[in-house]
Structure 1
Amino acid sequence: MVSKQAAAELVWTDDEPLECVSVLPEAPNVVTVCFQSPSGRPFNFHPGQFITLELPVPGGPLYRTYTISSSPSRPKSLSVTIKAQADSIGTRWIIENLQPGATLKGSGPAGHFTSTQHPAEKYLFISAGSGITPMMSMTTDIYDHGRNCDIVFVNCARRPSEIIFKRRLEHMATRIDGLDLKWVVQEPDPYQPWTGYQGRFNQLMLGLMAPDYLEREVFCCGPENFMQSVREALAGLGFDMERYHQESFHAPQASEAKLIVAPQHHDDLPEMNVMAEINFAGSGITTSCHETETVLAAARSAGVAIPSGCTFGICGSCKIRKTAGEVHMVHNGGITEDEIEEGYILACCSNPRGNVTLEI
């Protein structure tokens, strides 16, 4: 029987440095750095967790936190996939200076953003740019178990050539049933036809990609404005936000290397247990409903006829004028900013907040 202390000594701990064994280019300004422990001890972590690296930059050291892109199902190495932005200091230093054989001090792993804490039969992974890294770790871990899965994997990038792990994921999808890949790009590469989704990720795309999204456990990672748009899209469609998870952490200081910060969402989203009141002034009808109910649904229940079409906020058929009160609206192009300034809303994707008065 192996004691807990003896078992701990069998795996890598952050009292041992990380040895760089390879640096692999993935996409423009993106590399995967693979580490091993000099002692040969395996790594023990949960898919989706992060690690903090101490970087010896001029004037440093500098501490940077990176999500682990490799899977604990392959414990002999640990990889981080990093993208250098225009103002990057630490990441740019890694890309320009780190070579195989060099060592870095690492702290962790840590973090709550992991599928092991939220087991589910169906997953929806939504990411943008380098936010794909924890999704890659979680997907690889599920893939390595050898069982069929049910994952809708959505990644958004500027161009197809900037989609990280595209070939690797497509290979995995040919070897297992249930890995459904969806790529979204802002624009195609020059002289390269693109037949996938194009534009900004929205509710309409979500409905086409994963019609059963209400049944799925959702993990999201990317820039904050991207994650906020995903949260608003899901909340506007009545998704149970208790089943929504996003990567949220702050880079720890040297003395706080194991700091874990639980996700905090500060969106002012509609709530199920809060009531609202809608006054349909032209019809002389007032009705009460939950904030999570759309104006269109409330109107139908009250017997007020509002023309509608797509119900995704794209066709504009349900456009009506609001004369008082506030709504939470997440649309997909069916209304202009000028119309919003004039008080118009789309009933299909607007949730009432408090007391609302409509012309109809």
Structure 2
Amino acid sequence: MTAEIDSLVVAPAPVQDHVWWRRIDRRTPVRPGIRMPWVDGAASSAAVPDPMVAHEFAIECVAVTPETPGITSFTFRRRDGVALGFRPGQYLNVAFPVDPDGGLRERNYSLSSSPVDPSAFRLTIQREDTGAVSRWAHEHVRPGTALEALGPLGGFHLPDVDRRARYLLLAGGVGITPLISMARTLHALDGTADVVVLYHASTPRDFAFARELRILDETDPRFTVGFSLGDRPSPEWRGLTGRISAESLDALVPDACGRRVYACGPAGYLERTAAAVEAVGVSPLAFFTECFDDTAPEPRTEQSQAAEPQTTQRPVTTGPGAVSSATAAAAPADAPTASALPAPAPSAPPRTPAPVRDVADTRHWVTFARTGTSAPVETADSLLQAGRRAGVPLRSNCSSGMCGTCKVGLLAGEVTMDHSGGIRRREIDAGTILLCCSTPEGDVVVDA
């Protein structure tokens, strides 16, 4: 599976500003499985900060590293000097001063560095020509640039303790960003593990972190790394080709059904991946995904027309179980396993006839001002659930109050909001709420 790596062609990139790899022979790991440094009893726990709950802080860029012609990594540090504690695979919500009037646009970007190296952290961003935020980041973020951040966020991460530690990391395009954080972390930790990384990209020059992944494959016998070009022919490519499928997955990773599988990429890639892993016998309880997509379209306004494309903005996390959360924010910060999440909601829920309120109806109702739709809110339902049931196209990724995608203004009435860090204090003070975790105290009107 590693033969095709020798023919990998990528754009030249500068040497990383820190060396994260080491040569390991098969006798080096002594601990069975993997144990994160912040777990009691793990080695070097004092040097690695505990994962933090989501909070606000200021960050400053200290380095810019091109990864491919369209993908750049930005190395940051916290301006207060505190090391950022996070789990490998999580992301930050960053506010960018893109608008000429000083307005901020928020985007979620995965942390591509390892929490085992707490001196700084990295965000890796793919430039989209039609994306205002990614273009601004590529053109304006330089050493010294200060931004506001919220996080760490997300339940798409490795478990804190895993005695088996057998993983399959599947990446499509820029979906490699949270997975490279996982790979770097697993490589940095001692212990027995068996990790396969399978990375799909559109062209030979679109493989980010290719040099590092090759070194990882060559220096750590616990890792096997493969690259595939998908179904677009290229005369300079002599490696694996073809989209991910049950046949290719079974040929490359015949023991996939015995691994914990993490997949990240665009929605189309994840649809094919889900079908493939199900066909080869992977349990739904062992399959975790994060999609750089939204579950519902945003209303077309002058501002949203210039916003980031739906395929690169915000991670949407899914996994096993029935907990309504994209990032399992409700779980304690020291939860030892990855999140249990449902499949993403359909992007366009079927529209039902608008309900008519009866004079004897004692339920609270929500009115969505932009669409003019009113709907009852059933007991224990959120405003998001009520709106979707009424056919209102509402954006939401996590449904747990963490990602911030469903922020709207509260125009009238009062709500109880039990969020998990996905909204800033100043936004709450200004009358902004999260639909997914807000329940009404009476009739309400929202700006959606």
* TM-score between both structures, scaled by the size of structure 1: 0.65
Counterpart amino acid of residue 125 in structure 1: L
Measure the CA separation in 2 of the matches of 1:13 and 1:42: 14
Match of 1:265 among 343, 358, 377: 343
Measure how far apart 1:237 and its partner are: 2.9
2:81 aligns with 40
Counterpart of 1:220 in structure 2 is 263
Provide the rounded CA distance (Å) in 2 between the counterparts of 1:42 and 1:12. 13
Contact 2:228–2:241 at 8 Å: present in 1 too?
A: yes
Please point out which of 214, 239, 258 is paired with 1:196: 239
Distance 2:49 2:217 in 1: 35
8 Å contact kept, 1:110–1:259: no
Higher relative contact order, chain-length normalized (CA < 8 Å, sep 6+): 2
1:95 aligns to 2:116 (yes or no): no
Contact 1:11 1:44 in 2 (8 A): yes
Q: What residue number does 1:184 align with? A: 228
Match of 2:90 among 15, 34, 49: 49
What are the Cα deviations for residues 202-244 of structure 1, in whole angstroms up to 9, with x where unaligned?
A: 1111011111011010000000111111111122233211110
- Pair 117,10 (structure 1): closer, same or farther in 2 beyond 3 Å: closer
Does residue 149 (structure 1) correspond to residue 149 (structure 2)? The answer is no
> Which residue of the partner structure matches residue 105 of structure 2?
62
* Paired position in structure 2 for 1:335: none
Contact 1:47/1:134, CA 8 A, preserved across alignment: yes
Matches within 5 A, 1:162-177: 162-177=206-221
Shift of 1:195: 2.7
Query: Equivalents in 2 of 1:215, 1:176: separation in Å?
Result: 21
1:79 aligns with 2:79: no
Name which of 278, 285, 288 aligns with 1:245: 288
Worse overlay, 213-222 or 139-148: 139-148
1:134 matched residue in structure 2: 178
Distance 1:117 1:144 in 2: 14
Secondary structure of 2:214's aligned partner: helix
2:69 is the counterpart of 1:28:
yes
Q: Which amino acid aligns with 1:230?
A: T
Q: Are the counterparts in 1 of residues 114 and 181 from structure 2 also a CA contact under 8 Å?
A: yes
SS at match of 1:172: helix
Measure the CA separation in 2 of the matches of 1:145 and 1:218: 19
CA contact (8 A) 1:246 1:263 kept: no
Match of 2:273 in 1: 230
- Matched letter for residue 138 of structure 1: M
Q: Shift of residue 28 of structure 1?
A: 1.7
Q: Does the 8 A contact of 2:51 with 2:87 survive in 1?
A: no
User: Would you say how many aligned residue pairs link Structure 1 and Structure 2?
Assistant: 255
| Deviation, structure 1 residue 116 | 2.0
- In 2, are the aligned partners of 1:12 and 1:37 still within 8 Å (CA)? no
**1-structure distance, mates of 2:245, 2:174:** 19
Q: Is the contact made by 1:48 and 1:67 (CA closer than 8 Å) also made in structure 2?
A: yes
Provide the rounded CA distance (Å) in 1 between the counterparts of 2:188 and 2:289. 23
**1:8–1:220 distance in 2 versus 1, CA, 3 Å:** closer
Give the secondary-structure state (helix, strand or coil) at the position aligned to 1:87.
Answer: coil
- 1:16 is displaced (CA, Å) by 3.3
Whether the aligned pair in 2 keeps the contact of 1:55 and 1:61 (CA below 8 Å) is yes
* Superposition CA RMSD, Å: 2.9
CA contact (8 A) 2:53 2:151 kept: no
Q: Pick closer, same or farther for the CA change 1:10–1:201 going to 2, 3 Å.
A: closer
CA contact (8 A) 1:40 1:76 kept: no
* TM-score normalised by structure 2 residue count: 0.53
Structure 1 residue 13, shift from structure 2 partner: 7.9
Is this contact kept in 1: 2:95–2:148, CA < 8 A?
A: yes
CA displacement 1:101-160 (0-9 Å, x = unmatched):
111000000110001257342100001011001110011111011445311101100112
Letter matched to residue 265 of structure 1? A
CA offset digits 1:54-97 (Å, max 9, x no partner): 00011521000001000100011110111022321111110011
Shift in Å, 1:175: 2.0
SS of the residue aligned with 2:89? coil
Equivalent residue, structure 2, for 1:279: none
Pair 1:160–1:263, CA change in 2 (3 A): farther
- Residue by residue over 1:8-61, the C-alpha shift from the partner in whole angstroms, topping out at 9 and shown as x without a partner, is 999898443101001111102110000012333211000000100000011521
Task: Report the secondary structure of 1:174's partner residue.
Answer: helix
Partner of 2:379: none
Corresponding residue for residue 248 of structure 2: 205
Identity of aligned residues (%): 28
Amino acid in the other structure paired with 1:18: I
Q: Which runs of 5+ in 2 are unaligned?
A: 1-47, 295-313, 316-326, 331-339, 347-448
The whole-number CA distance in structure 2 between the counterparts of 1:237 and 1:259 is: 27
The DSSP-based 3-state class of the residue aligned with 2:186 is helix
Q: How does 1:283-322 map to 2 (within 5 A)?
A: none
Single out whichever of 173-182 and 243-252 deviates more from structure 2. 243-252
Distance in 1 (alpha carbons) for counterparts of 2:216 and 2:126 = 23
Q: Which moved more, 1:79-88 or 1:243-252?
A: 243-252
* Greater C-alpha Rg: 1
d(CA) in 2 for partners of 1:118, 1:87: 41
Q: Distance in 2 between matches of 1:158 and 1:16?
A: 36
State the distance in 2 between where 1:175 and 1:12 align: 34
Letter in 2 for 1:129: G
Cα gap change, 1:159 to 1:39, in 2 (>3 Å): same
- 2: CA distance between counterparts of 1:259 and 1:61? 26
**Deviation per residue, 1:226-277 (Å, 9 max, x gap):** 111111112223321111001258659xxxxx99496431599xxxxxxxxx
Q: What secondary structure does 2:219 align onto? A: coil
Higher helix share: 1
